[in-house]
Chain A
Amino acid sequence: MKSNPVASQPTRVSRRLLLQGAGVAMALPWLESIPVWGTELGSSQDVHLPKRFAVQFMACGVNQDHWWATGSGPDMKLGTSLQPLAPLKSKLNVISGLFNRSAVGVGIHPGQTGNILSGATLQRGAELRGGISVDQLLANRFGEETAQPSLVLGCEQPITGYHETNFSMAYSSHISWQNATSPVPMEVYPSLAFDSLFDNRGNRRNQSILDRIQEHAESLSRQVSGADKAKLDEYLTSVREVEKRIEHVREEQSAASERANGRGQALPTMQRPDNGLPEDIREHMRLMCDIVALAFQTDKTRVATLLLCRDISGLFYPFLDVRNAHHSASHNDLSDDFERITSYYVSQFAYLASRLEAMPEGDSTVLDNSCLLFINNMWSGSKHDSTKVPLLMCGGLGGTVATGRVLNYENKPDDQRKLCSFYLSLLQRMGQSDQSFGDADAPLHEI
């Protein structure tokens, strides 16, 4: 199969143009994603398809009565709360019994949350201290290759302050940590998250800077000696070279869009979300899922976390006929109310997975090359029990993880059911050579 020639003058959409008149419908081509990293649309063997990693987080436990799965593949049986995933059974792994040792026995809520992706021991009091989360470790490793190292999104504002356990409430609000002391700033505005996908955040900003300093160096070198000129040229050449690389990334993105256009496919579109926060949490979550899907499909980033709600969440669900806010509802976690909440969250996971599943990529789909996780900080919200956590995985990470399975580690000894071992397995399957992560120095069995 031959690709269309790269347009010599790729029509790049100026972000500024898009932003003029907020709220006006703006179309972004829903790209078929291959051409971003391969100039030829060869068969999937020829193309090195990137692996992506995303996490959706729900807090305060699930309704345990309805959170179960048995069997495997198409015969898998799912509990009520997992029903939204029924169409995706073959791409799903239901994993139970994993836990974070440092999130047990330290007191409830923040201490059970801020380390869910790092396994680090958290420090109480004014000074934050934990560890880098697995998503950010990945972002550091291949963030250079994409417009953005990672997307860190949330549907509920982060808060700080102190919990009664004397942990900072910041641990309840942040699952992505760039290092031991700082969380990654979380974007809660869909409009801004959308904007960040246009490359003005990283590359475009750098380009403006490089343009400027280039002018400066040129004006300096006009009247100086030959030897000095050569010295400044060395600098100028370096500036141009770096600019060229940035331009290259941008051109590839544009070329991809051109090619997709040229194939006359019906292009799905996404409107730029309105400024401000959506009134309805359903719309908020859906937009955030769309943005992650868009980012993965167009390879703007390969790492995303989406905090659907924070720990001790104050979200309300009138559309589910639940009057209590999330946290209060979780104290009655075996209720029908909380079952509806749980199902609703799982449906968000199913939604994101199905969006990615609908995006062909080589012979497979974007979902097949991804690992989507759904994780909760507690098994039981009423008991604040984190001795095991609910965990779902969708997508086979480019065929490196078998799916359609129910994996139960509940009866394994503690050192064989570490969340960090699971993360380590994923890191290795994403081509990383790490031999340890968090409190784990061995990958998880049977993954």
Chain B
Amino acid sequence: MNLFRRIICRLLFCSLVVHSQCDPCLAEDENQSQLGQRFQEQILPLLQEHCLTCHDQDQPEADLDLSQFGKLADVHRAQLTWEIILERVAASEMPPRDAQPLSAQQREEFVDWIRDARAHEAQRNAGDPGDVLARRLSNAEFDNCIRDLTGVDLRPTRTFPVDPANAAGFDNTGESLTMSPALLKKYLDAARTVAEHMVLTPRGIEFSPHPVMTDTDRDKYCVKRIVEFYQQQPTNLADYFVAAWSFQNRDSPELTLDKIARAHDVSPKYLRTIVSTLELQYDLGPLAQLRSLWQELKAIPLGHATTDQVSILCQQMSDYVYAVRKEFETYFGNLEIEGVHAGSQPLVLWKNKQYAAHRLTADFARLETPFIDATQDKSQKPHIPANSISMQMWKSLADDTQRERFKAECRVFCSVFPDAFFISERGRDYLNKPRDEQEKGRLLSAGFHSMMGYFRDDQPLVDLILDEPGRSELDALWQELDFFTAAPLRQYQGFLWFERTDSRFMRDAQFDFARPEDKAALTEPLIQKLSQVYLEKATANGGSTVALAAIADYFKEINQHIRWVENSRQTAEPLQLEALLAFAERAHRRPMSAQAKEELRQFYRSRRDDDGLDHPAALQDLLVALLMSPQFCYRTDLLRDTAELRALDDYELASRLSFFIWSSLPDAELMACAAAGELRKPAVLKHQTLRMLADSRVRGLATEFAANWLDFRRFEEHNSVDRQRFTTFDDDLRAAMFEEPIRFFMDVAQRNTSVLDLIYGKHTFVNQVLASHYGIDGLHWSDAEWQRVSNADQFGRGGLLPMAVFLTKNAPGLRTSPVKRGYWVVKRLLGERIPPPPPNVPELPNDETQLELPLREALARHREHESCAGCHDRIDAYGLVFEGYGPIGERRTVDLAGRSVDTTATFPDGKQCNSLAELIDFIRRDREADFLSNFNRKLLSYALNRGLQLSDDSLLEAMKVGSLDGQPLFHELVEKIVTSPQFLNKRGRDTASDNRPLETAP
């Protein structure tokens, strides 16, 4: 009878008072009393006669004191102990030979009774959610939550101590996840670290991959994003020509230009422009030449053999455009005013603007007056050589009419092909050096002398290529740059400093009021005042109209920019606060009441008003408080807050699911389902579960469940390989070894294959490093860092067993260890309980070359001792099969001492295995059920955040039933777990915990 029914029974009886004969609780009680009677009459005498001699209170053998079991209830409280008793007695290992033997009938009675008692207990509480402690997040969960909240993988727990694992091997239970003042201090530091990554934007908040506490860091963050945006844009002309060709030769009317553009990763808008431009019937300018190349290109039919030809031709077209476009580039000299430094802001900005405004225009000046003596020309204007493309075209023109037509065609050409789509770095152009000789790496720089300042020049990209969302995104990025770095304010302060020192222009007394140190200098009246005084002097120095206008514009614009920063920062404050409240809701995994939100606002306000913090600091403290709050760093969804057992509410279920499958908090979709009250509907629950398993965040399940189950979670810190001897073993190979089973497991989870693939799979996943370690050749390495190898068995790999990570981890350095490897298979995969070795076992040398006997013979000798044989018979054979793999999992035929390796293994029942394939066959025949049962138990224990109990038996039974050809599909196991009563409910705070978890029994 399950727990609900019991509760219902109790409620009924309380209210009805009258007991009825058909009461199921009574039937249960009868059962119970029968078991109790059998215990007293049959079992107790057996214990006393056959067991207590050794297992009594005084120095009990194996720490097992059987005298403590005087009644049935005592047995129920020690389920694990009785499971072991059952195993050993059933296997006739107990009582030992030198004790009073049990008759066959006695043994049967004994075993039957334990089985009955266990079955009864399992049935009685089936589906019990069990004792699941609310607990802090594990380090991995903390990191994953921060990653999913901020969008940046900051891993703030890097400096935390490693979380201890529970008896099942997982670090996700309350018993092992404790809190201490020292750890809390680390939480505080971690929260501060996260806060130092918070970026304030005009619309809200975001997070940077590096701290953004200094101007230079903020510059780096904002500039990098803009430059990356530029680099991601499709500006490669050759790609457009290829797409145009595809479009021209499309074999299906379904293939629209938009679809083709998407397939080629180019802008549909610009592709349209290019396609129509290529078809223009021009005959004089560069477009004519381009068109003839286009005709040639068009003639190439679709088909594989022609792709190289196409790309060569498209590259030719692109090269042609770049080369000839350069010859029409507009040229601007410096503005000059007596006394004003050529690298000063107003003059440099004027020139930048001229270039930015003429990226789509054609300049014919150099064609029309080509005969200036270059040595006499002080403007350093670039000259076009006589044999250049445009010059040759120009010379071939017959008359002015043709020249005008040529110019018109060139203008079209230049308006379609800009001289640049964007400028992402700029040196000091005012020095008049050719562009390619100017300073490199000054990203988005305006190009002033020494002063900081950015300049945006990307109109062709915006006009020709970007769509509306792209434009908004780019605008927002540039706004964020000004907003977050206060670039205009700093630029103007630089101006004040420079003009007073290096440039000397503002050294006269009338400029003394404008000091960079003075914050008031940034105010509108003082900027206007300086503008006036500056212009007066510039006028007196004979500045031209253009130059004076440039100066006036400079002051006007810098003032506007500064005002914009100030105003928008003011306007953004409440938006940023609200964004942080929304963040809080996600972090706490529950909707927040209006009152709770108001409390947070209050906290923020109090930091500003009472502590005198500025807005960013107050926001940071609020963020720290949110991340320190138990609602974030504790699994509060697990709190038992009602008197009786109850169903999880939608939000609790969302958390439970996401921490199970992702080791992280619920995402927006899951929260939306919870908010709609849909999540508990079976169809929705199933859909969400499958969606989550397919998501890449299922990596959390791979690293926290699979890696802990298989004991390689900390392999990235594994340091017992002798790198002098194994020179191929480096950090990259170690990382790849760790990654292989992670990828393998994720594949099972994401593609929903049978969990038996873990053992029987003939495939695996490798990157280049691992492929070369495995000697897997014939793979093509392009972009994909990792790839699936379907025929890994041909290289001695495939499935978990021969993965280098396990072979390496279970080898002590300079030799292999059949014992450790065998133990790993038997314990981790097959779930056998093997007691620890006695303390007096002699150590084998850690180096194969130091062994007097081959390892297998040394082990065989070891097994001759009866006390050793008990365990080693169960272990060694499994490990010896792997002797064909060396200490770092490399395949080998001789060991380090030069002896041929022998992979023959004989199992206790006499069966022989001679290879990995035979071991796998042996498992398939004899141990498959053990593997599956172990897998299910581990997965369930992980999912429930607790050790298993007898009351989980019926769920485990249900999980055993494979649906498709008996194949246990991974999704079905997960589904059975997430729809089970133990997953969907939690105990009440008063539920008696008489149902102890198995794994923590004595």
Using CB atoms and an 8 Å cutoff, list the residues of chain A in contact with chain B.
15-16, 19, 124-128, 156-164, 166, 168-170, 181-185, 188, 195, 200, 204-206, 208-210, 212-213, 216-217, 220, 223-228, 231-232, 234-235, 237-239, 241-242, 245, 276-277, 312-314, 316, 323, 325-328
Known: A19-B612, A232-B634. A209 touches B518 (CB 8 A): no
> Which positions 980-999 of chain B face chain A at CB distance < 8 Å?
987-990, 993
B625: interface (CB < 8 Å) = yes
* C-alpha gap A313/B516 in the complex (Å): 12
Does the CB pair B216–A161 fall under 8 Å?
no
Nearest B residue to A179, CB-CB = B211
Given A181-B210, A182-B216, A226-B989, 17 extra CB contacts under 8 A: A161-B451, A162-B439, A185-B215, A188-B517, A208-B603, A209-B624, A212-B625, A213-B628, A216-B629, A224-B134, A228-B639, A228-B640, A234-B180, A235-B634, A238-B180, A245-B181, A314-B501
Which chain A positions have C-beta within 8 A of B183?
Answer: 238
B450 touches which of A169, A224, A241 (Cβ 8 Å): A169
Question: Is B39 interfacial (CB 8 A cutoff)?
Answer: no
A124 CB contacts on chain B under 8 angstroms: 441
Partner of B441 from the list A16, A125, A241, A325 (CB cut-off 8 Å) is A125
Band of interface residues on B: 35 or more
The answer to whether B211 touches A182, judged by C-beta atoms less than 8 angstroms apart, is yes
Verify if B445 is at the interface (C-beta below 8 Å from A): yes
Q: Give B164-186 as 1s and 0s: 1 = Cβ < 8 Å from A's Cβ atoms.
A: 00000000001000111101110
Q: Nearest chain A CB to B530's CB is how many angstroms away?
A: 16
CB contact under 8 A between A125 and B989, given known A16-B611, A231-B133: no
Report yes or no: B611 in contact with A200, Cβ–Cβ below 8 A: yes
Residue B44 interfacial (CB < 8 Å): no
- Asked if B174 and A231 sit within 8 Å, CB to CB, the answer is yes
B242 at the A/B interface (Cβ < 8 Å)? no
Q: List 6 A-B contacts (CB under 8 A).
A: A161-B453, A164-B450, A200-B611, A209-B625, A225-B988, A228-B134
Q: What is the minimal beta-carbon distance from A197 to any residue of chain B, in angstroms?
A: 13
Confirm or deny: B225 has a beta carbon within 8 angstroms of a beta carbon on chain A. no
- A161 and B448 contact, Cβ closer than 8 Å, known pairs A16-B610, A239-B184: yes
B621 A209 Cβ-Cβ under 8 A? yes
447-495 of chain B: CB within 8 A of chain A: 448-453, 490, 493-494
Chain A nearest Cβ from B260, distance in angstroms: 37
Contact A231 B441 (CB under 8 A): no
Cross-interface CB contact of A228 among B133, B210, B213, B442, cutoff 8 Å: B133
Nearest CB of A to B615, in Å: 14
| Residues of chain A lying within 8 A (CB to CB) of residue B210 | 181-182
Q: Does B921 lie at the interface of the complex (its beta carbon under 8 Å from any beta carbon of A)?
A: no
- A209: chain B residues at CB < 8 Å are 188, 621, 624-625, 628
**Residues of B with C-beta under 8 A to A316:** 500
B181 touching A235, Cβ below 8 Å? no
Nearest Cβ distance between residue A71 and chain B, in whole angstroms? Answer: 39
Q: Are B184 and A170 touching (Cβ within 8 A)?
A: no
CA–CA, A159 to B501, complex, Å?
14
**Does B452 lie within 8 Å of A169, measured CB to CB?**
yes
Does A327 contact B501, Cβ atoms closer than 8 Å?
yes
Q: Is B252 an interface residue, CB under 8 A from the partner?
A: no
Report if B135 contacts A (CB, 8 A). Answer: yes
CA distance A162 to B451 in the complex (A): 6
Instruction: Please report the C-alpha to C-alpha distance between residue A326 and residue B631 in the assembled complex, in whole angstroms.
Output: 56
Instruction: Report chain A residues within 8 Å CB of B993.
Output: 227
Query: How far apart are B179's CB and chain A's nearest CB, in angstroms?
Result: 5
Q: Give per-residue flags for B133-145: 1 if the beta carbon is below 8 A from chain A beta carbons, else 0.
A: 1111000000000
Residues of A within 8 A of B135 (CB): 231
Q: Please measure, in the bound complex, the distance between the C-alpha atom of A19 and the C-alpha atom of B638, giving whole angstroms.
A: 46
Looking across the interface, which residue of chain B has its beta carbon closest to that of A223?
B641
B440 within 8 A of A: yes
Report the Cα distance A316→B215, complex, angstroms.
Answer: 25
B603:A212 contact, CB within 8 angstroms: yes
Q: Which residues of A lie under 8 Å from residue B449 when comparing CB positions?
A: 164
Residues A325 and B134 in contact, CB atoms below 8 Å apart: no
> Measured between alpha carbons, how far is A125 from B134 in the docked complex, in Å?
51
Measured in the bound complex, the distance between the Cα atoms of B213 and A15 in whole Å is 24
Residues of chain B with a CB closer than 8 A to A213's CB: 625, 628-630
Is B611 within 8 A of A206, CB to CB?
A: no
Q: How far is the CA of A166 from the CA of B174 in the complex (A)?
A: 55
Contact of A127 among B220, B451, B493, B497 (CB under 8 A): B220
Q: Tell whether, in the assembled complex, residue A314 and residue B630 are in contact, meaning their CB atoms are under 8 Å apart.
A: no
Are A126 and B640 also in contact (CB < 8 A) when A158-B215, A160-B490, A213-B629 are? no
Bound-state Cα–Cα, A128 to B220, Å: 9
Alpha-carbon distance A312/B507, docked complex (angstroms): 16
Q: Are B216 and A235 in contact (CB under 8 A)?
A: no
Residues of B within 8 A of A169 (CB): 450-452
Residue B679 at the chain A interface, CB threshold 8 Å: no
Residue of chain B at shortest CB distance from A159: B494
Whether the Cβ atoms of B188 and A325 lie closer than 8 Å is no
Answer yes or no: B636 CB below 8 A from chain A CBs: yes
Q: Are A216 and B216 in contact (CB under 8 A)?
A: no
Q: How far is the CA of A160 from the CA of B486 in the complex (A)?
A: 12
Q: Which residues of the partner chain A approach B494 to less than 8 Å between Cβ atoms?
A: 159, 161
CB-defined contacts of B611 to chain A, threshold 8 Å: 15-16, 200, 204-205, 208
Is B747 engaged at the interface, CB distance under 8 Å to the other chain? Answer: no
Known: A126-B223, A126-B442, A208-B607. A314 touches B497 (CB 8 A): yes
Across the interface, name the chain B residue whose C-beta is closest to A163: B450
**In the complex, which residues of chain A have a beta carbon less than 8 angstroms from the beta carbon of B442?**
125-126, 162, 166
| Minimum Cβ distance to chain B for residue A186 (Å) | 9
* B573 interfacial contact with A, CB 8 Å: no
**From A15, A182, A313, contact of B217 by CB (8 A):** A182
Using known A-B contacts A160-B452, A161-B448, A209-B628, determine if residue A185 contacts B134 with beta carbons closer than 8 Å: no
- CA separation between A210 and B627, bound complex, in Å? 11
- For B425, the chain A residues whose CB sits under 8 A away are 126
| Residues on B with beta carbons closer than 8 Å to the beta carbon of A227 | 131, 133, 174, 640, 993
Please provide the 3 A-B residue pairs with the shortest distance between their CB atoms, ordered closest to farther.
Answer: A125-B441, A225-B989, A161-B452
Instruction: Tell me, in angstroms, the Cα distance from A224 to B134 when the chains sit together.
Output: 10
A160–B215 CB distance below 8 A: yes
